[in-house]
Chains A and B, each alone.
Chain A
């Protein structure tokens, strides 16, 4: 935490939701939707890969949602309906207005990864917070060594961005390996857990950078597999999820040991997280 963190003013747009129009709504899976939002006025915001916003459904509530894409001033969010607020976001049709605060949080260390191999490990909806990073890695692939995306889901029907996964694979600028926990025989891909893919992935452990996002247990297994391959803890980066409410480090709901996930995360290096992840109560 920077010594002056308490003195820094919240970023512009941090406290008052700006109205955004739902422009597009696309179903990803049975319970997950991707919404494209456009500011009602002004140029909008430009979140960096890894950041999140607070999405407000007026009269229902507000939740933190990672940014899964940007399109000019438009914001793209991929949301899984798991509660009242997220279900209301998923139900917002084109023409509806949502409130947006942010962007907030730390970013994926793409600059630090320049010149190195990058291995991206995603599980379930954890691909959403990584999508902007993967897009940047693909777009600027000359700036990196090999880039590998390892993605796991529950079933083939639960995988996000299947069309884009296929495009990434077809263009060949990054290696894309997908696995699911269970499948019918018409699925011709892998069946197994995503950490197992790490064993066979091609990257130079001595210098590679890993970006990991998914359910915490999946991240724990993935980190173990990455450490087993020889990656240093400081080059493993994880996106953490906690009960973020204010998003500006005031309310304390998202406290993770000495850190606040909304302010000091969501992206942390494992070097910083290792001890905290071993504490059950955190």
Chain B
């Protein structure tokens, strides 16, 4: 049976980490599953975890009272879901639902924050990796803000 540490070693998000660091992170991790349609987290609730998706698709959604839910992004195997655990006020900004059956590794944010406080090198590693993910998502968001499929000056 594959251990959590072995799963993390194979994940690009954790690529290059020292085996001892992987073990440290794996100490805060557990494997979870969601049925299609299941809520992974809800906007406004405490953000005390993040997820490394191993199978399936999760939608990140914004909800408005007048417009209902709008899917902002879908995430798949290999993607990381959730960074609010790392930054104050540690609350989710969006909803997340499993679109399909999902298998993921969940990381206890409180546990990890404690380890980061005790070991700044670990904190730096994690913040660097989440910053990279944030930059990629920000770039894609900027591309969407440009509304490139809108009307151009055509005849």
Contacts and interface: CB of A to CB of B under 8 A. Distances in A.
A58 interface: no
Interface string B6-47: 000000000000000000000000000000000000000000
Interface string A217-257: 11001000000000000000000000000000000000000
B154 A86 contact: yes
A190 B77 CA distance: 13
A153 B148 CA distance: 9
B152 A184 contact: no
Interface residues of B, number: 26
A129 interface: no
A206 interface: no
B136 to A, nearest CB: 8
A159 to B, nearest CB: 10
A182 B155 contact: no
A187 B70 CA distance: 10
Interface stretch (A16-24, A77-85, A113-121, A165-173): A77-85
A207 B151 CA distance: 35
A182 B149 contact: no
B144 A124 contact: no
Main secondary structure of the interface of A (DSSP, over half): mixed
Contact of B140 (A124, A196, A200, A217): A196
A251 to B, nearest CB: 15
A181 B149 contact: yes
Interface in B71-102: 71-74, 76, 78, 97, 99
A253 to B, nearest CB: 11
Nearest to A31: B151
Contact of B149 (A63, A85, A123, A185): A123
A215 B143 CA distance: 11
Contacts of B120: none
Given A191-B59, A191-B73, A123 B97 contact: no
Interface in B98-155: 99, 140, 143-144, 146-152, 154-155
Interface size class of A (residues with CB under 8 A): 35 or more
A154 interface: yes
Interface string A187-211: 1111111011000100000000000
Contacts of B151: 82
Contacts of A189: 74
A193 B68 contact: no
Nearest to A187: B71
Given A82-B154, A82-B155, A191 B71 contact: yes
A203 to B, nearest CB: 17
Contacts of B155: 61, 63, 82-86
B149 A183 contact: no
B71 A184 contact: yes
30 contacts: A82-B155, A84-B155, A86-B154, A86-B155, A123-B148, A124-B148, A125-B149, A154-B149, A158-B149, A179-B74, A181-B147, A181-B149, A182-B71, A182-B72, A184-B69, A185-B59, A185-B71, A188-B99, A191-B71, A191-B72, A192-B74, A193-B143, A193-B144, A195-B140, A195-B143, A200-B76, A215-B148, A217-B143, A218-B148, A218-B149
Interface of A: 61, 63, 80, 82-86, 123-125, 153-154, 158, 179, 181-185, 187-193, 195-196, 200, 214-215, 217-218, 221
Given A80-B154, A182-B144, A183-B71, 6 more contacts: A63-B154, A86-B154, A154-B149, A179-B74, A191-B72, A200-B76
Closest 9 CB pairs between A and B? A215-B148, A124-B149, A83-B155, A82-B154, A154-B149, A191-B71, A191-B74, A193-B140, A183-B71
